[in-house]
């Protein structure tokens, strides 16, 4: 039998996930939402942090629900013994409804076909009635039924003995832009649907609208539950919300680290990495770090002034990010040696590089940065 490879030692690059930070953030968000409950969004591998470990920590911290995008993501949670309620954020394919029932997941529905498929799956399994949530499209136009359509879907659910109308929800498109009035329009449209259904005697146990941004900035829209993703991981939903008081209390849960694998002296005027785009203005110590765009370091960081931390100091990436490695300009610092720790995202000494620092440099969002950390990067949980 072959010996197990120590992936951290062989790669010299890893991500550290602070589960204490997840528990802390879940506690803050649960307190903010109260008396509404907290749903921890752990789709996409918990935004690159690891869904099973994060789900457990979030539940320990105060979340009472979990949310995922795919049936397979829900199956992963169940396979690891997590029995908390799990909301599927989109209507599952008809052919997946048997698995939804078998796994006791809570599907979101917004079509007549979805209602029929869910009811048939429950009947075929001779299972207890399945709680479902109905989604209203209030203006984002991604998925969800129109106002009239949502009322029809909710009525159809209520008429099926195999189903229980467990929730009604919507999703905000611009809640991370606190000055944008469109979120108020969405709230008004959603409230109107809630009132129409209530007039028909259809008021589900859970009404929910807020994502992280809404939970932080719109306390009047908390309803019965808030769904927090990015804030759970200690990251502001947008730079515009970074100044919200509670955001300052959140703790980033993930750091991306590596060790210098090689050091060389490069003369002034020489350029490094693919394209030889940026000759060095002066002779420099250049450190090779074994992490690249295959691991989630955006290629553009090498051309837009991306920095890493070595020895508690900011050091610029020198030249293009390559698939497996980056080069770092350490200037005249000849104390940098192979084995030194490199922080790509996280804190070292008094300096910090954040996911939003990367996102701003490459014109994207912190969500993409976190989700982009590749599968070759091992995770260490603490």
Q: Which of 308, 325, 312, 318 is nearest to 282 (CA)?
A: 318
The model's pTM is: 0.95
Active site residues: 43, 274
Quote the Cα angle for 101-65-95, to 5°: 25
List average pLDDT for each run of 10 residues in the chain, which is 382 residues long. Answer: 55 94 98 98 98 98 98 98 98 98 98 98 98 98 98 98 98 97 98 98 98 96 98 97 90 98 97 94 97 97 96 96 98 96 98 97 98 96 96
Determine the 3-state secondary structure of 150 from DSSP: helix
Q: Which domains does the chain have, with CATH numbers?
A: 19-237 (3.20.20.10), 254-381 (2.40.37.10)
Q: What is the pLDDT of residue 2?
A: 52
Q: What is the pLDDT of residue 5?
A: 44
DSSP state of 96: G
Integer Cα distance of 177 and 307 in angstroms = 28
Determine the 3-state secondary structure of 233 from DSSP: helix
List the 326-329 sheet strands across, edge first: 262-266, 284-289, 326-329
Other Cβ atoms closer than 10 A to 189: 16
Condensed to tens digits (0 to 9), the pLDDT of residues 260-300 reads 999 999 999 999 999 998 899 999 999 999 999 999 999 99
Integer Cα distance of 297 and 57 in angstroms = 27
Integer Cα distance of 119 and 164 in angstroms = 10
Determine the 3-state secondary structure of 361 from DSSP: helix
Quote the Cα angle for 314-317-319, to 5°: 160
Token pair of 376 as six digits: 């070759």
- Orientation angle between helical segments 147-159 and 182-199, nearest 10 degrees: 30
Do the beta carbons of residue 351 and residue 313 sit within 8 Å? yes
Q: Which of 19, 66, 23, 16 is nearest to 43 (CA)?
A: 66
Determine the 3-state secondary structure of 97 from DSSP: helix
Integer Cα distance of 30 and 97 in angstroms = 31
Quote the Cα angle for 164-122-36, to 5°: 30
Quote the Cα angle for 347-39-54, to 5°: 40
Determine the 3-state secondary structure of 158 from DSSP: helix
Q: Rounded mean pLDDT of the chain?
A: 96
Q: What is the pLDDT of residue 243?
A: 85
| Tally of CA atoms within 13 A in the half-sphere of 282 that contains its CB | 4
Integer Cα distance of 27 and 366 in angstroms = 22
């Amino acid at each position: 039998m072959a010996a197990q490879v120590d992936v951290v030692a062989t790669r010299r690059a890893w991500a550290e996930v602070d589960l204490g930070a997840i528990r802390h953030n879940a506690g803050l968000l649960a307190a903010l939402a109260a008396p509404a409950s907290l749903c921890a969004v752990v789709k996409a591998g918990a935004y690159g942090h690891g869904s099973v470990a994060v789900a457990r920590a979030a539940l320990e911290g105060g979340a009472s629900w979990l949310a995922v995008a795919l049936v397979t993501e829900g199956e992963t949670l169940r396979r690891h013994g997590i029995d908390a309620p799990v909301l599927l954020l989109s209507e599952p394919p008809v052919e997946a409804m048997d698995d939804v029932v078998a796994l006791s997941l809570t599907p979101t529905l917004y079509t007549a076909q979805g209602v029929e498929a869910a009811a048939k799956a429950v009947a075929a399994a001779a299972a207890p009635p399945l709680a479902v949530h109905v989604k209203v499209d209030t203006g984002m136009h991604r998925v969800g039924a129109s106002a009239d359509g949502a009322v029809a879907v909710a009525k159809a659910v209520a008429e099926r003995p195999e189903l229980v109308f467990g929730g009604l929800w919507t999703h905000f498109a611009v809640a991370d832009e606190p000055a944008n009035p469109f979120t108020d329009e969405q709230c008004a449209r959603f409230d109107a649907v809630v009132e129409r259904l209530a007039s028909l005697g259809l008021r589900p146990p859970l009404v929910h609208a807020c994502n992280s941004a809404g939970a932080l900035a719109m306390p009047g829209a908390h309803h019965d539950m808030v769904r927090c993703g990015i804030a759970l991981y200690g990251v502001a939903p947008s730079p515009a919300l970074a100044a919200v008081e509670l955001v300052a209390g959140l703790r980033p849960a993930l750091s991306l680290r590596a060790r210098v694998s090689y050091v060389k002296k490069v003369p002034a005027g020489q350029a490094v990495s693919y394209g030889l785009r940026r000759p060095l203005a002066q002779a420099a110590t250049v450190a090779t770090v074994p992490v690249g765009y295959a691991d989630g370091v955006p290629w553009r960081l090498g051309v837009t002034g991306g920095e890493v931390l070595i020895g508690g100091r900011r050091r610029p990436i020198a030249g293009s990010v390559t698939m497996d490695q980056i080069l770092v300009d350490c200037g005249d610092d000849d104390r940098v040696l192979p084995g030194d720790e490199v922080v790509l995202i996280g804190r070292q000494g008094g300096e910090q590089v954040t996911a939003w620092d990367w996102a701003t440099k490459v014109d994207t969002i912190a969500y993409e940065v976190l989700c982009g950390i590749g599968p070759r990067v091992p995770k260490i949980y603490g």
